């Protein structure tokens, strides 16, 4: 199992009416998995209020120990690309152009790897939040990955496709629900659904990890003797989620269930010693889980 790291520098991009941004670094990591290869690709980053991490005052010392003292955080967004010689699989597709100007950079990262949208055979969603789903359509509302089969967990798909979700989701996430509904209605006839424990593609097993969203899925990837675990947003940061996994996370739609899932998943990953890929983990998102007393720590592979 060989890890490599590369940094791809691209030209400055405009951000709305602002002046051109500095040159952006699309940091990525690669995990060689026998005859297959897994890459993480940067979709940029989000800018979120600290409440999306937590509003619990007991978290303050932990956050400060990681240098987090302001009113906002800027989590990276790591899309996973898996290629086994037959299938070219994207796990999530980033934000596209409609969510945040700091995100939506997946196409530049794919271009740097010389992977075209038409090369993708499967798009697999962990869940339906904007930074994972909204990049699925182009500017003409056509599927961006036109040759790909699109796949989503059945419970997650039905939740976002249900118009009643707009009336039941909290006010701060209503735009999430509206955006997911529009996109999934367009793609409805092109999406295959699956359940917990299913092998959705050779060597790719789905594992239900609910709480962040009702039907959030993670994925256990195996090729030969090598394995990795794609956590999506079941573990949403490298600090509080590891140091205090039982503490409610502001980004989870069901904070209690999210914490329960996180505690069990971290125990599983620390026991199995699998490489993990986290959508919002640093340095490309590829690392490992280690026990740290009664809690855990994230160890990046760099």
Interval 271-296: pLDDT, tens: 999 999 999 999 999 999 999 999 99
Domains defined for the chain, CATH in brackets: 2-300 (3.60.15.10)
Range from 2-16, 125-139, 231-245, 246-260 carrying the lowest mean pLDDT: 2-16
Q: Is the dihedral of CA 166, 141, 10, 21 positive or negative?
A: negative
Q: Mean pLDDT, to the nearest integer, of 171-177?
A: 96
Which residues, at least 6 apart from 177, have a Cβ–Cβ distance to it below 8 Å?
A: 160, 165, 166, 169
pLDDT value, residue 52:
93
pLDDT value, residue 301:
87
The answer, yes or no, to whether residue 23 has pLDDT greater than 60, is: no
The answer, yes or no, to whether residue 12 has pLDDT greater than 70, is: no
pLDDT value, residue 230:
98
Of residues 120 and 24, more confidently modeled: 120
- Can you spell out the DSSP letters for 209-256? --SSSTT-EEEEEEETTEEEEEEETSS--SSHHHHSTTS--TT-SSHH
Q: Mean pLDDT, to the nearest integer, of 14-28?
A: 39
pLDDT value, residue 7:
30
Distance between CA 69 and CA 55 in Å, rounded? 13
The answer, yes or no, to whether residue 299 has pLDDT greater than 50, is: yes
Which tens digit of pLDDT belongs to each residue from 93-150? 999 999 999 999 999 999 999 999 999 999 999 999 999 999 999 999 999 999 999 9
Distance between CA 120 and CA 105 in Å, rounded? 17
Instruction: Select the highest-mean-pLDDT range: 1-10, 24-33, 209-218.
Output: 209-218
Q: How confident is the model at residue 302 (pLDDT cuts 50, 70, 90)?
A: low
CB 219 within 8 A of CB 124: yes
3-state secondary structure of 85: coil
Q: How confident is the model at residue 2 (pLDDT cuts 50, 70, 90)?
A: very low
Helix (H) or strand (E) holding 293: none
pLDDT value, residue 105:
95
pLDDT value, residue 26:
58
Tokens found for residue 31:
């995990």
């Amino acid at each position: 199992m060989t890890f490599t790291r590369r940094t791809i520098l691209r030209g400055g991009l405009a951000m709305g009416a602002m002046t051109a941004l500095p040159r952006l670094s699309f940091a990525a990591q690669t995990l060689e998995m026998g005859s297959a290869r897994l890459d993480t690709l940067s979709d940029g980053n989000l800018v979120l209020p600290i409440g999306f991490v937590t509003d619990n005052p007991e978290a303050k010392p932990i956050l400060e120990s990681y240098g987090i003292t302001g009113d906002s955080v800027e989590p990276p967004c790591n899309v996973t690309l898996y290629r086994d010689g037959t299938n070219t699989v994207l796990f999530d597709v980033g934000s596209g152009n409609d969510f945040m100007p700091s995100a939506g950079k997946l196409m530049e990262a794919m271009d740097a790897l010389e992977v075209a949208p038409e090369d993708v055979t499967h798009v697999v969603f962990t869940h339906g939040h904007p930074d994972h789903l909204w990049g699925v359509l182009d500017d003409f509302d056509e599927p961006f990955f036109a040759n790909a089969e699109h796949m989503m967990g059945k419970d997650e798909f039905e939740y976002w496709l249900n118009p009643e979700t707009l009336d039941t989701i909290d006010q701060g996430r209503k735009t999430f629900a509206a955006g997911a509904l529009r996109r999934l209605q367009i793609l409805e006839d092109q999406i295959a659904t699956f359940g917990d424990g299913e092998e959705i593609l050779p060597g790719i097993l789905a594992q239900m990890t609910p709480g962040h969203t009702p039907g959030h899925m993670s994925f256990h990837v195996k090729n030969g003797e090598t394995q990795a675990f794609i956590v999506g947003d079941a573990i949403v940061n490298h600090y509080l989620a590891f140091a205090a996994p039982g503490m409610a996370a502001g980004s989870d739609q069901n904070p209690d269930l999210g914490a329960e899932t996180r505690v069990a998943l971290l125990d599983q990953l620390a026991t199995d010693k699998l490489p993990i890929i986290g959508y919002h983990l640093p340095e490309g998102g590829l690392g490992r889980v280690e026990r740290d007393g009664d809690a855990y720590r994230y160890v990046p592979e760099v």
